Amino acid sequence: MAAEAPLRPDVTAPPAAMASVLHAITDYVALLKPKIILLLVVTELSAMIVAARGWPRPEVLVGALLGGSLAAGGAGAVNCWFDRDIDKLMPRTRRRAIAAGRIAPADGLGFGITVGVSGVALIALTTNALAAALALAGGLVYVFVYTMWLKRSTTQNIVIGGAAGAFPPLVGWAAVTGSLSVLAWVLFAIIFFWTPPHFWALALLLSKQYSAARVPMLPAVVGEARTRRSILFYTVLLFAISLVPLVWLGPVYAAAAIALGGIFLALAVRATRRRDGASALALFHYSLAYLALLFIAAAIAAAVRL
């Protein structure tokens, strides 16, 4: 009788230790909020192309984008550390690694600070001090002004604190030119006025969660009807401000801004009239595409006008 072949371990199955490491890496990366970072990178890169009227130098491009991503991600991780108590109360956020207990709060805080400081340092080394200072300022506004102060104290939290998300175009512009122009501040203003209708559309869908967590997001305090009117008001302001760059960028940008803004306005009007979850969700998803496409249009327009 032939001897049976010895059983061999299944080499295709990763060891438990390796799986644990991969899960930990995934959790730490998630603390950086990579989906948000992707949109910030689009706005920063587009601003750099507009400022340079083409592609910036490779070292400046890589340093500013990677550094900006790390700076923003570090601030996001600190946000997860500070908000771990309310994150536990909301189905949308309770699976975050710190809130769920998979990462110790002190470890998450240390990780966020380390990543954020590394990003600012990288920008300083590869571009200039102004760009690094602006990246630092954006992170500080997000952590101290929005997260630690305004988010839990006022319905205007996202209006004022949301300015943190408008810093990437300033960082990108300063990285290329070493200064800031009127157009750079207009790009900042576009994101500033985009933030309320974008975030309040989501908040309409999560109003009960914010109420349970005692976070005074607008719909949880003043109700849906007033929130939808506020969304429409800021959308009109956004549309007007989004047309200002055509002074520098010409008809290509103007056509894109009018088309994209017109759709945004139509969705905001529909959300105001219908007052249902579907219209709010459609507005929220479109707002993400709108900002990315508008900034891409600005970059293309700048290249066309070379």
The whole-angstrom separation of Cα 147 and Cα 178 is: 29
Give the pLDDT of residue 306.
55
CATH of domain 26-177: 1.10.357.140
Tens-digit pLDDT string for the chain (306 aa):
344 445 555 545 457 778 788 889 999 999 999 999 999 999 999 999 999 999 999 999 999 999 999 999 999 999 999 999 999 999 999 999 999 999 999 999 999 999 999 999 999 999 999 999 999 999 999 999 999 999 999 999 999 988 999 999 999 999 999 999 999 999 999 999 999 999 999 999 999 999 999 999 999 999 999 999 999 999 999 999 999 999 999 999 999 999 999 999 999 999 999 989 999 999 999 999 999 999 999 999 998 875
Q: Domain residues of the chain, as ranges?
A: 26-177, 181-306
Give the pLDDT of residue 5.
46
Handedness of CA 39, 44, 50, 53 (dihedral sign): negative
> Which ranges of 153-223 does DSSP label H, i.e. alpha helix?
157-161, 167-177, 182-205, 207-212, 218-222
Residue identified by tokens 């209006």 is 159
Burial label for 9, CB within 10 Å (0-12, 13-18, 19+), is exposed
The whole-angstrom separation of Cα 156 and Cα 150 is: 7
The DSSP string of 55-124 is PPPHHHHHHHHHHHHHHHHHHHHHHHHHTHHHHTT-TTTTTSTTTTTSS-HHHHHHHHHHHHHHHHHHHH
The whole-angstrom separation of Cα 223 and Cα 241 is: 27
